[in-house]
Amino acid sequence: MKIATFNINGVNKRLDHLLAWLAAAGPDIVCLQELKATDGEFPKAAIEAAGYGAVWRGQSAWNGVAILARGCEPVLTRAALPGDPSDTQSRYIEAAVSGILIASLYAPNGNPRPGPKFDYKLAWHERLKRHAAELFATGLPVILAGDYNVVPEARDIYPTRSYDDNALVQPESRAAFRALLDQGWLDALRKVHPEDRLFTFWDYRRLRWQRDAGLRLDHILLSRKLTRRLKGAGIDREVRGRDGASDHAPVWITLRD
C-alpha cells in the first residue's frame, strides 16, 4: 500500500498536474493541502473519474485539505483539529481508509515572526500534540501526513543563513515537531533514508529549485502499529520540476500488507 502527501498549492490551478501524478504514481491514499478552493469548488468529478473517492474541507482563497482513496470512499472521522472552536481555518481532516486512520494536515506557516502568526502556529502545534497523543494512545494504526511547516533539523535545509529568522526553522517550531516524535510517532522518510538529503519544498523565488535550495517541510508520521510495516519511502522531485508546478513535491511511503 502506497500513501502520499502533496501540498498542491491550488487544486484547480494544478488539477492536470494532480491527475498526471495520480496516474503515474498510483498512490492508494493521498493527503492534499493548500486546496485554495471552497468546498463547492473541489474538483470531485475529475478525481472520481481518476478512480478516487475523497473527503475534503475547503476554504476561500487559502488553506484547504483533502484525503483521497483509490477505489473507495474515505470515512470521515474529523474535519477540524480539536481544541479551539473559534479557529475557522481549514487545516485538518481525518478519515478511516482500509483499516488505517489517516490525517491530512496543513500547519500554519507562522511568518512573520515574532507576532500573532507565529503565536497561532505554536498554539496550533500544541493542539496537534494533544490530539496526536490521544490518537497514539488508542493503539490503532494511524498516519499523520502533511505540511508541518517545520524543518526538523539543520540537515533538512540547504546551507544558508537566509532562513535564520524564519518561523520554519525556529527552536520552538522544531520542539513542536520533536514533541510528536517523543510521543512515539515515527518520521517515516527519515527512517527509510537516515543519511540522505531530503527536500520537499523549494521556494519559487531566487531560483531555489534550479539551485536545489530546498527544505523538508512535508512529513509522514506513523503510529507504533505501523512502524514495522514500513517498507519504502520517497519524494517525487520530478513533479516539482514541471512547468507551473506547486512549490512542494509529493512525498510517499509504502507499507507491507
* Joined grid coordinates for residue 85: 472552536
Q: Does residue 227 bind DNA (CB under 7 A)?
A: no
Residues in 44-83 at the binding interface with DNA, rule: CB under 7 A: 60-63
Element (H, E) at 234: strand 230-235
Is residue 9 close enough to count as binding DNA by CB under 7 A? yes
CB burial of residue 183 (10 Å; 0-12, 13-18, 19+): middle
Q: Which residues contact 126 (CB under 8 A, 6 or more apart)?
A: 83, 176
Q: Give 82-138 as a DSSP string.
A: TT-TT-----EEEEEETTEEEEEEE-----SSSSHHHHHHHHHHHHHHHHHHHHHHT
Point out which span in 19-27, 104-112, 175-183, 222-230 binds DNA (CB under 7 A): 104-112
204 is a contact residue toward DNA (CB under 7 A): yes
39 binds DNA (CB under 7 A): no
Determine if 244 is a binding residue for DNA (CB under 7 A).
yes
Q: Which of 27, 108, 152, 234 binds DNA (CB under 7 A)?
A: 108
Site string for DNA, 162-201 (x = CB under 7 A): x---------------------------------------
Distance CA 94, CA 102 (A): 6
Q: Active-site positions? A: 106, 147, 248
Radius of gyration of the chain (CA): 17
CB of 229: closest distance to DNA in angstroms? 32
* Contact status: 160 vs DNA (CB under 7 A): no
Closest distance to DNA from the beta carbon of 121 (Å): 9
Beta carbons within 10 angstroms of residue 232's beta carbon: 13
The residue ranges that bind DNA (CB under 7 A) are 9-10, 12-14, 36, 38, 60-63, 108-109, 111, 117, 162, 204-206, 244
